[in-house]
Structure 1
Amino acid sequence: MKAQAVLSIILILVPSLSGFHDTFLLASPNLVTTEEEQIVIGRLGEDVILPCSFESEPEVVIHWKNQDNYVYSYYKDRDYLENQDHRYTNRTSLFHSEIHNGNASLSLRRLSLLDEGIYVCYVGTTSRKIINKVVLKVGAFVTPVMKYEKRNTDSFLICSVLSYPHPLITWKTDNASISESNMEEIESLSPFYVDSMINITGSNLSYECAIENSLLKQTWTGGGTVKDDLHKMQSENFSLSCELTNSIFLLDQDFKVAWSKVEKETSSILAYFLSSSRNTTIYGPRVSWNKERINQTDFSLTLKDLILSDSGEYLCNISSSKYTFLTIQALHVVESKQNHLDNYSVFGFPGNLHILYIKKIQLFQEREVFCPY
Structure 2
Amino acid sequence: MSNGILKNQARGPWFTCTCDPTAAGQQAALHMQSFRPAAAVVIHWYKQQTPVHSYYYNKDQFGLQNKHFSGRTSLFNSHIPHGNASLLLKRVKVQDKGRYKCYTSTRKCNQEVFVNLEVKALIQSVVMEMTNEMVTCSSQNIYPAPQVTWATDPPSDLDALVNSTVKTTDNRGLFSVESKLRVVDSLSNYTYFCFFTSADKTQVRTASWKNQEDITQEEGHALSIPCILLHSLQNFSLTWTFTSSTEPRVIIKYDSRTRHTFNLWEGQAELDQDLLLLGNGSLLLHKPNHEEHSGMYTCTFSGLQNRHVIQTHVNITVASKRVDEQSVQRSWWSTAASAAFVLFTIIAALPQCIRQKVMETRSGSHTCNGAGHLEGGIHKDPNTVASYTAGQNGSECNRLFLQFEARDESEDHTPEKDFALASPPESKIEQDEKPTGPPVEGNGGLECSSWEKE
Per-residue Cα deviation, 1:291-316 (whole angstroms, up to 9, x for no partner) = 44334443222223223343332111
Superposed CA RMSD: 3.4
**Map of 1:103 onto structure 2:** 84
Q: 2:125 aligns with which of 144, 147, 152?
A: 144
Shift, 1:334, TM fit: 2.1
Distance 1:62 1:233 in 2: 80
Q: Secondary structure at the match of 2:321?
A: helix
Would the aligned equivalents of 2:37 and 2:80 in 1 still touch at CA under 8 Å?
no
**Map of 2:325 onto structure 1:** 342
Per-residue Cα deviation, 1:103-138 (whole angstroms, up to 9, x for no partner) = 322111111122223221112233432222223232
Distance 1:124 1:87 in 2: 25
Amino acid at match of 1:305: K
Distance 1:138 1:295 in 2: 37
**Map of 2:281 onto structure 1:** 299
**Map of 1:54 onto structure 2:** 34
**Map of 1:42 onto structure 2:** 19
Shift, 1:164, TM fit: 1.5
Amino acid at match of 1:217: T
Would the aligned equivalents of 2:128 and 2:138 in 1 still touch at CA under 8 Å?
yes
Amino acid at match of 1:318: F
Residues 356 and 78 (structure 1), Cα distance of their counterparts in 2 relative to 1, 3 Å cut: closer
Amino acid at match of 1:316: C
Identify, as 1 or 2, the structure richer in strand.
1
Q: 1:331 aligns with which of 290, 307, 314?
A: 314
Tell me the percent identity.
23
What's the TM-score, normalizing by structure 2? 0.62
Residues 180 and 155 (structure 1), Cα distance of their counterparts in 2 relative to 1, 3 Å cut: closer
Shift, 1:43, TM fit: 1.0
Q: 1:89 aligns with which of 67, 70, 84?
A: 70
Matched, 1:118 2:99: yes
Ranges in structure 1 where 5+ consecutive residues have no aligned partner: 1-31, 345-349, 361-369
Residues 157 and 258 (structure 1), Cα distance of their counterparts in 2 relative to 1, 3 Å cut: farther
Residues 200 and 61 (structure 1), Cα distance of their counterparts in 2 relative to 1, 3 Å cut: same
Q: Secondary structure at the match of 2:275?
A: helix
Would the aligned equivalents of 1:38 and 1:135 in 2 still touch at CA under 8 Å?
yes
Per-residue Cα deviation, 1:320-345 (whole angstroms, up to 9, x for no partner) = 2311111122222222222233334x
Distance 1:339 1:36 in 2: 84
Number of aligned residue pairs: give it: 322
Distance 2:194 2:79 in 1: 47
Would the aligned equivalents of 2:123 and 2:205 in 1 still touch at CA under 8 Å?
no
Per-residue Cα deviation, 1:31-70 (whole angstroms, up to 9, x for no partner) = x972122333221142112233424231332100124432
Amino acid at match of 2:31: P
Ranges in structure 2 where 5+ consecutive residues have no aligned partner: 1-8, 339-410, 415-454
Distance 2:35 2:169 in 1: 50
Greater gyration radius:
2
Would the aligned equivalents of 1:143 and 1:321 in 2 still touch at CA under 8 Å?
no
Q: Secondary structure at the match of 2:141?
A: strand
Identify, as 1 or 2, the structure richer in helix.
2
Q: Secondary structure at the match of 1:293?
A: helix
**Map of 2:152 onto structure 1:** 173
Residues 356 and 331 (structure 1), Cα distance of their counterparts in 2 relative to 1, 3 Å cut: same
